[in-house]
Amino acid sequence: MSMTAAGRYLQLASQREPFLTRAREAAKLTIPTLVPPDGHGPHTKYYTPFQSIGARGVNNLAAKLLLALLPPNSPFFKLLIDDFMVDKMTQQPGMRGQVDKALNKIERSVMTEIEAKAMRISAFEALKQAIVAGNCLVYAEETMRIFRLDRYVVSRDPMGNVLEIITEEDISREVLPQILKETLEKPENEKSPEKTLKLYTWVRRNGTHWTVHQEIGTGQMVPNSKGTYPLDKSPWMPLRWTKIDGEDYGRGYVEEFLGDLRSLEGLTQSIVEGSAASAKVLFLVSPNGTTKMKEVAEAPNGAIRNGNAADVTVIQTQKHADFQVALSAIERIEGRISAAFLLAASVTRQAERVTAEEIRIMASELEDALGGVYSILSQEFQLPLVTRVMFRMERRGQLPSLPKGMVRPAITTGLEALGRGQDQNRLRRFLGNLEPLGPEVIAQYLNVPEFIARMGVSEGIEMDGLIRSAEEVAQAQQQAQLAAMGQQMLPGGMQILRDQLDPSKNGPQVEG
């Protein structure tokens, strides 16, 4: 008897358990609802951290990654085709410009489709899951869905290639097909039509394609749920924050700083509870003194009563020095966590005067530290997303069918953007090193149009039509010279006209 999807899910869940446990610990100190505790339900009471820097860091880092991976108003990929292939297909040399124009039109259509489906909202949630739990399953079809780590299992080969994915969902009996409902056992309580069942979606790699089908918890297959996907165009994308050879799952970014977060949580809790105790005001009146307790308790502010000051004392914790040690440790830990999550406070140096250049350099260094993350997300998220969206649009007739194996998408954001940023910094430093030579020497030896073009490429700007060519610059200079000559001649021409109209200078007489 073949294994059911539920049975296979339980088998793979045991291998997922260590990763899920660490993910729940990381979520507890950042955003507890991202990875709920085991056995959670509608009435689960989530832990509330004593500090908020963990949640701030996760949201800030996810927002920065979202802008880097899916930048607004600009495509994050480019369709590439080899020059030799262009000449071979068109049978005409020099057709590169027309081919690039056609590919650019396809790129804009794909970006319009991604924007129309509001995929950024789900992508932001997926990035937060990846940062905290280290893993997330993305399903990109007509709409994008996100599965938490506790809702799916995955199996990979030693090289990291996905072999199978199984998701687990809770569904109501009412949404099942009628033919399936008739074969199911009736619920124990007939008055509870919302009783849920487990729905499993099993995706398996089978040679050159993927096979998929759905089963309910009893092992019965859902009618019309079988399907196949091309191997490189599957809508199922199991994301990882880090790639670990030999393991089916990745590790989260928060897990790397779990020690600092735990220390900060404990110290902050101690400070909060200690401050609450210190804020409590409690008077003690000596039982053998002359001051009466009732008079002290009932006396209004500013009142005058008989008594001895030595009979009344106020309880104090006397922990100010200890609190200063804890606060100093909290400040150092917060600095490390802020730097790790690219918070603005970590960029600004603690000094009276901090230049904008210092802030820019430190921010750039922190961004460069995410190069490895950009690499894995571009291969496991951006590239499969573009491929799947283009495949779906081709199937619906919204895009022309591209030659197989000749046109490939290439990611132009993330790590590629970091590389362009490094080129830009080198160009700026090079120009700064030339400044001592003087503007005349720079203008004599520096190829200004080429320098401008390289700066534009480093910024990721489309330069076609933006910068004037050498011929256009020469033409503009010639027109400027002619205009200047005309301005110089205009006053003389007006004086000749005035002389001709002046009777005292034997000019033509005007009869009145």
State the average pLDDT over residues 417-439.
73
Q: How confident is the model at residue 409 (pLDDT cuts 50, 70, 90)?
A: confident
pLDDT for position 35: 94
Q: Is residue 201 part of a domain?
A: no
pLDDT for position 458: 58
pLDDT for position 355: 58
Q: Is residue 316 part of a domain?
A: yes
State the average pLDDT over residues 324-337.
93
Percent of the chain with pLDDT over 90: 32
pLDDT for position 345: 59
Please state, rounded to an integer, the average pLDDT across all residues of the chain: 81
Final residue in a domain of this structure, among 350, 368, 386 = 368
Q: Is residue 282 part of a domain?
A: yes
- List 204's β-bridge partners, or say none: 164, 211
Q: Is residue 124 part of a domain?
A: no
250 pLDDT above the threshold of 50 = yes
Q: How confident is the model at residue 218 (pLDDT cuts 50, 70, 90)?
A: confident
Final residue in a domain of this structure, among 302, 336, 368 = 368
Q: How confident is the model at residue 240 (pLDDT cuts 50, 70, 90)?
A: very high
SS3 string, 256-285, reads HHHHHHHHHHHHHHHHHHHHHHHHCCCEEE
CA distance 7 to 86: 51
The number of domains in the chain is 2
510 pLDDT above the threshold of 50 = no
Strands 209-216 and 196-206: antiparallel
Q: Is residue 191 part of a domain?
A: no
> Between 415 and 203, whose confidence is greater?
203
CB neighbours of 34 closer than 8 A, spacing ≥ 6? 27, 58, 128, 129, 132, 133, 148
State the average pLDDT over residues 190-214.
83
354 pLDDT above the threshold of 90 = no
pLDDT for position 371: 66
CA distance 460 to 417: 8
Alpha-carbon torsion, ordered 296, 297, 301, 305, to 10 deg: -30
CA distance 379 to 166: 21
* Residue 501 neighbours by CB distance under 10 Å: 11
State the average pLDDT over residues 429-433.
83
pLDDT for position 441: 81
288 pLDDT above the threshold of 50 = yes
> Between 273 and 425, whose confidence is greater?
273
Q: Is residue 142 part of a domain?
A: no
Which stretches within 280-319 are classed as H helix? 293-298
pLDDT for position 15: 93
Q: How confident is the model at residue 437 (pLDDT cuts 50, 70, 90)?
A: confident
> Between 214 and 504, whose confidence is greater?
214
State the average pLDDT over residues 295-310.
88
pLDDT for position 512: 41
Mean pLDDT is lowest, of 174-188, 237-251, 354-368, 411-425, for: 354-368
Q: Is residue 287 part of a domain?
A: yes
Q: Is residue 306 part of a domain?
A: yes
Domain extent, residue 493, equals 470-503
Final residue in a domain of this structure, among 349, 368, 387 = 368
Structure tokens at 303: 């009142």
Global pTM exceeds 0.85: no
- Residue 213, classed as helix, strand or coil, is strand
CB neighbours of 193 closer than 8 A, spacing ≥ 6? 172, 173, 174
- pLDDT (tens digit per residue) in 159-185: 889 999 999 998 887 777 776 766 666
CA distance 138 to 119: 11
> Which of the listed ranges 37-41, 319-323, 324-328 does the model predict with the highest average pLDDT?
324-328
- pLDDT (tens digit per residue) in 373-395: 777 888 889 899 999 999 999 88
Q: How confident is the model at residue 27 (pLDDT cuts 50, 70, 90)?
A: very high
> Which of the listed ranges 131-135, 399-403, 483-487 does the model predict with the highest average pLDDT?
131-135
